[in-house]
Structures are given as C-alpha cells and as structure tokens.
Structure 1
Amino acid sequence: MKVLLSKFIESEEQDLKYIKDSHIQLAFFRRKTFRDFDHEDFKSRLDSANIKVESVHAPAADIYHSANDEFLNMLKTIKQVYNVKVVTLHPQRGDRRQARVQYKKVEQEIQRLGLILAYETFEGEDANRKWIAQLHDMHHYFRILDLPFLGITYDLAHSSMGKCLKEIRKYSNNIKVIHFSDALPEMIPESEEHHQHLPIGMGRYPTLDFIDTLIEIDYKGFLVLEYMDKYEHLLRGDAELVKRYINEEKEPLRALVNSRKKISQAG
C-alpha cells in the first residue's frame, strides 16, 4: 500500500507548507472552484514544492452532471493536468437506473482516459441522500453494472466502528483508496462533523488494528490520511509514523496513539 496525505483545495493561493515534499491525494469540494481553477498554474506550484499528486478527490460532481459535459470534462482535466489513475468521487442524489444509462453513454470515453472512479462510502443519514453509499451495496451493484472503471473509496470515519475490520477483509479487492482517520462513533452526527476525521489516537476507532489488517491482507491501494483542516499540521509526521509501522517499526506510532488517547480521556 502507498501512504498519502489529503489536501483540500479551495483557492489557487492555498498554503502548501504542511504538505511540501509529500505524496498526496489532491481534493476539491466545490464544482465551481474546480471549473474556475487555473489547474496548469497550480500544478506548477505543486511541482515547485516537490508535491506529487498520486490521486485526485473530485468535487461534488457525479455522472448525473451531464449538462455541457461537465462530468466528463472534469475527468479529462484531472487526467490531462494531474495524470493520475484513481479518482475519488462523492456519490450524489439520483436514480440508479439513470446512473446506469448515463455511464453507458460515456463508458468508452472513460475507458480511453484510463481512470478508475472510486466512489466514497457513507453510512447513516448520508446514505439516504445518495444514489449509492454503503460498501456492501457498491460491491454488489458495481458487479451488476459491469463497468471495469468503477471502484471504491472506503472512508474509515464514515464506517461502522464494529464492522470496519470485517468489511476491509471482505471487500478489499474493490477498494482502491482508503480515507484514514480516527472518529468518535458515540457522538450524534452534526453538520460540521467535528467527531470525524480526527488524527490517529484522538478518537475511538481501532486504527492500529485496522493498519494491521491491511498489512495482513496485503492491501495494494492508497491509504490516505484525511484530517480536519485544523489538524493539517500533523499530517506529514503522522504519515511518516504510519509508513514506519507498515515496515515493522511499530512502537513510535503505538506510543503516539497511546499518548493522544490519554490526553483525550483526560479532557
């Protein structure tokens, strides 16, 4: 597996200091930001900071956004400018049958781009607002669609804490990207999601057991550390400890996780 940092971009002047000299998943959220963005100029900024884009998290556009070829043009821009293979997508509200119809229309063009479109998993209330959201559902329905470019982005913080280890074992072959962070599962979901995307050790999820499981199954995809913005300064250091953990130098990350848990419990 390859460990990446997540970096959400809202403007072309975004500060890159915390991700210099790193391999990242470049993430966009707003469709308008992506459309109006000078991608070529920003790619030059990334190159100057020795930042390697390994994957892109697309903005909130889905196969339904076909007006003016928005969805397909977005994919073309991602491929032409950032030259990645795996693109994370947020599933949007829509009808499954319509998704199938729309994908069949552009199937050959997407295949020519050589992209894997990895839909992100969601649970709970979020699942009711999207055409597809849960891991087991994606696994089965993507087989029905029979589109070789469809894959899955598994977000640990969106998963059920009691099921995550079993899920990753069962469905790992379809999972191209994992968004990795800690979370507080007992908190009531809120719009700002302050209980999710916490640094490793600040929540209740079995983060170390999760990495151990990935090692055991020989996971081959991207493991992307995705933290809330206010913890961005911790990403690079945590990623280095995760890499060392994967390479059998486990004690430094264990010590960090235990230290953070003690602080969280004391608070």
Structure 2
Amino acid sequence: MTPFKNTSIQLSFFQRTDFLLIDHKKIKEVCNFLNIGIPTVHAPTVDVFHQDFLQILGRIKEVYDIEVISIHPQKGESNEAMKKFEEYAKAIEDLGITLAYENFPSYVSKRKWINLPAEMHSKFNLLFLALTFDTSHLDEPADCIEEFDKVSEKVAVVHLSDASQGKEHLPLGMGCVPYKKFLNHLQAKDFSGCVVIEYMEEFESKLIEDTKELAVEFK
C-alpha cells in the first residue's frame, strides 16, 4: 500500500470466503499510518442472495466506517433480489450505507441479476440502492458522458478506465473513453460521489501515476 501514501483509494476485496478471515483492523491501521483515505469499499463477491450478505456489509461498516459500498451483481433473478432488499431494508438502513451496484456489458446478462445502467436506474426504487458507473463496462464506452447523464442522479461511484477492442480497465488514453471531457463534465454537474481509477493489475505503476496526476488536475 506504500505507493498510495497520502492518497485516497477504494479498498477492494474479492473472494467472500476469505473476507471474514482477513485482519481488517490491521489493514485500517496501515491505511491510517500511511494517510490513505478510504471513502468507499468494494465488497467481495457477495450479493443479496447469499446467507452472509448482511454480515459482510456489517463488518465493512464496523471497521472502515464508510457510507458507500460498491458491489458486483451476481447470478440470480431480478424480482427475487428486489424482494430480498425489501426484506433487508431496515437492517441496511440502520447500517447507514448505500449499496452501489456496478454496471456490466450486455453480454454478461445471463450471469448477473442486473447489469445495465438503465436497468438499475429503473429498478432501484429503494433509497439505499445506487450505481457504480463503470466506463469500461459500458456497451459503448466512448458514449460515457451521454450514458452517465441518463442515470446520473443514482450514481454514487464512478469507476474510470479506458477500453479498446473488448479490453477493459486499460490506462486512460489507451482507448476510446474521452476521460478528460468526462471528468470536466462531472465537475460541471457538481458530481459529489467518488471517482475511482481502476486498471488491470499489470498497469499498477501507471495507476499510481495517473491517480496522483488527476487528483491535482481535477480537484
């Protein structure tokens, strides 16, 4: 974590089977020591259908004390998911968190109970449900400004990266995403959510460089 000293990050977790075994207090201590801000957390592969859903959300809130959690939608049925959210509504509201579901391209629709930004915008009628708007997961990443405007009032987090010829999470400038125009657009709209730069692991050094540069350019 040292390269991210004096910056802010979205702390991301992956496998839910490992999540409860991690020493989260130690991670938080290290982040505090390095002056790394954690305004938002990306949950592991857990969703409303899973038995440990509320337990994991509660643990994230307890240790990291954040208000917005990004989540990947998992496989399931849309109506069942919304019924579960109604069942869990009070527990989630009591935690004081917003669940920001990440959009995915059309081709993954059979593997996700929800995946398109427009679907999320239409179905998310509970106050704690929002979007993580991922530019490289759009069907047409070059149209990110227009697509963002269609759902903007329900976007809590932006995952910003480039895309080209089916490749996702490329460094900005390597694909078709008009990222500077997009960031200027977010500023013009007074977007108050989190903007997270997200690259493939192989581009980690570029991620650190771009994170620091854009933090200065787009304060």
> Per the shorter chain, which TM-score range?
over 0.9
Matched letter for residue 217 of structure 2: Y
User: Is structure 2 residue 193 aligned with structure 1 residue 221?
Assistant: yes
Among 96, 101, 121, the alignment partner of 1:119 is 101
Cα deviation for residue 127 of structure 1 reads 2.5
Identity between Structure 1 and Structure 2 (%): 37
User: Is structure 2 residue 82 aligned with structure 1 residue 91?
Assistant: no
Contact 2:142-2:176 within 8 A present in 1 as well:
no
Matched letter for residue 39 of structure 1: H
Listed as ranges, the gaps of 5+ residues in structure 2 are: none
For residues 36 and 141 of structure 2, the distance between their equivalents in structure 1, rounded to whole angstroms, comes to: 33
For residues 134 and 124 of structure 1, the distance between their equivalents in structure 2, rounded to whole angstroms, comes to: 7
For residues 97 and 204 of structure 1, the distance between their equivalents in structure 2, rounded to whole angstroms, comes to: 35
Larger-Rg structure: 1
2:121 is matched with which residue?
A: 139
User: Is structure 2 residue 182 aligned with structure 1 residue 200?
Assistant: no
Listed as ranges, the gaps of 5+ residues in structure 1 are: 1-15, 188-194, 248-267
Matched letter for residue 79 of structure 1: K
1:52 is matched with which residue?
A: 37
Q: After TM superposition, where is structure 1 displaced by more than 4 Å over at least 4 residues in a row? A: none
User: Is structure 2 residue 211 aligned with structure 1 residue 211?
Assistant: no
Matched letter for residue 81 of structure 2: A
For residues 37 and 216 of structure 2, the distance between their equivalents in structure 1, rounded to whole angstroms, comes to: 20
Contact 2:104-2:137 within 8 A present in 1 as well:
yes
Cα deviation for residue 41 of structure 1 reads 1.8
For residues 61 and 163 of structure 2, the distance between their equivalents in structure 1, rounded to whole angstroms, comes to: 32
Cα deviation for residue 162 of structure 1 reads 4.2
Q: TM-score if structure 2 supplies the norm length?
A: 0.94
1:19 is matched with which residue?
A: 4
Q: TM-score if structure 1 supplies the norm length?
A: 0.78
User: Is structure 2 residue 131 aligned with structure 1 residue 149?
Assistant: no
Cα deviation for residue 130 of structure 1 reads 0.6
1:226-250 Cα deviation digits (max 9, x unpaired): 1111222222331232233325xxx
User: Is structure 2 residue 26 aligned with structure 1 residue 41?
Assistant: yes
For residues 26 and 218 of structure 2, the distance between their equivalents in structure 1, rounded to whole angstroms, comes to: 35
User: Is structure 2 residue 138 aligned with structure 1 residue 166?
Assistant: no
Contact 2:118-2:150 within 8 A present in 1 as well:
no
- Root-mean-square deviation over aligned CA pairs: 1.4
For these two proteins, the number of residue pairs brought into alignment is 218
For residues 20 and 162 of structure 2, the distance between their equivalents in structure 1, rounded to whole angstroms, comes to: 32
Cα deviation for residue 80 of structure 1 reads 0.4
For residues 123 and 2 of structure 2, the distance between their equivalents in structure 1, rounded to whole angstroms, comes to: 41
User: Is structure 2 residue 209 aligned with structure 1 residue 237?
Assistant: yes
Matched letter for residue 182 of structure 2: F
Cα deviation for residue 213 of structure 1 reads 1.7
Cα deviation for residue 128 of structure 1 reads 2.7
Contact 1:169-1:217 within 8 A present in 2 as well:
no
Q: Of the two structures, which has the highest relative contact order with CA contacts closer than 8 Å and spacing of 6 or more?
A: 1
Matched letter for residue 166 of structure 1: E
User: Is structure 2 residue 54 aligned with structure 1 residue 72?
Assistant: yes
What SS class does the counterpart of residue 196 from structure 1 fall into?
strand
What SS class does the counterpart of residue 83 from structure 2 fall into?
helix
What SS class does the counterpart of residue 17 from structure 2 fall into?
helix
Contact 1:18-1:232 within 8 A present in 2 as well:
no
For residues 244 and 51 of structure 1, the distance between their equivalents in structure 2, rounded to whole angstroms, comes to: 16
What SS class does the counterpart of residue 183 from structure 1 fall into?
strand
For residues 141 and 29 of structure 2, the distance between their equivalents in structure 1, rounded to whole angstroms, comes to: 40
Cα deviation for residue 62 of structure 1 reads 0.2
